[in-house]
Homo-oligomer: A and B are copies of this chain.
Amino acid sequence: MNTLQTRHTIRKYTAKDVDEMLLNRLLETAERTPTMGNLQLYSVVITRSKAVKEQLAPAHFNQPMVTDAPVVLTICADYRRTTVWAEHRNATPGYANFLSFMNATTDGLLYTQTLCNLAEAEGLGTCFLGTTLYMPQIIIDVLQLPRLVFPVATITMGWPAENPMQTDRLPLRAMVHQERFEDYTAERIDDFYRAKEALEVNKNFVEINRKETLAQVFTDIKYTKKDNEAMSKSLLEALHQQGFL
């Protein structure tokens, strides 16, 4: 786990493939991650074909790692396997609801992170694509995901062809609360964000985006209210279509 302290997201990969046996070993070891009732409410769609990567790319704003990475993994919340199992075992499944979606999402995301930790310990580079939840319908259509299956994470994986600087993190005191939640005051916010806002890389980020503050880059450009509200609507629609709402 020493790799964690020095890890960074990798977006550029060499031409070298990710060996199938290695990938299978990582996927199988990651199965040791705990899941609800040991039901393993997730599945993984492995994309190696150029054609399918190109179909998935628009769902991820055409970020180049989707088509450049040797392997793209789409991790799905999957209550379908359990449901079909129940249907073939004289049992009446009740998993077409929101709690079940959240339970399966939890299983899928915990599995994903173990898989990434294992992959990085092998020297592989990974990039987690949060875009998976932005336009899920594209992914559902391309991968032909049936009812009670929903994409919750995408990982691009390959051998690193870059060695980027580590990005900053907030101090631990910003993340941790003792016994009860201690709400954020102006003074505490200043304390938490001072170092981040003072970094040259972040000052440049504000400047090239022609904003006054770093926070404005996030609220006005990267993750705007308008986009979030529109994508919330389509996310809820997709959840409904897949049978979870």
Binding site for B on A (CB under 8 A): 1, 4-5, 7, 9, 24, 27-34, 36-40, 42-49, 52, 76, 80-82, 84-86, 88-95, 97-100, 102-103, 105-106, 109-110, 112-114, 117-118, 121, 127-128, 130, 133-134, 143-146, 149, 152-153, 166-170, 172, 174-181, 183-184, 186, 189-190, 192-193, 212-216, 218-220, 222-229, 231-232, 235-236
Contacts and interface: CB of A to CB of B under 8 A. Distances in A.
A214 B172 CA distance: 44
B40 A175 contact: yes
A157 to B, nearest CB: 13
Contact of A189 (B37, B85, B97, B134): B85
Contacts of A174: 40, 81
A85 B145 contact: no
A7 B24 contact: no
Q: How many copies does the complex hold?
A: 2
Given A81-B192, A105-B105, A114-B113, A91 B121 contact: no
Given A98-B236, A130-B36, A27 B218 contact: no
7 contacts: A24-B172, A31-B169, A33-B113, A40-B170, A86-B215, A88-B215, A99-B133
A148 to B, nearest CB: 11
A42 B213 CA distance: 22
Contact of A231 (B76, B99, B193, B215): B99
Given A99-B235, A117-B117, A92 B179 contact: no
B118 A1 contact: yes
A173 B3 CA distance: 29
A4 B178 CA distance: 29
Contacts of A149: 181
Nearest to A105: B105
Given A5-B29, A29-B5, A228 B97 contact: yes
A174 B82 CA distance: 11
A92 B5 CA distance: 34
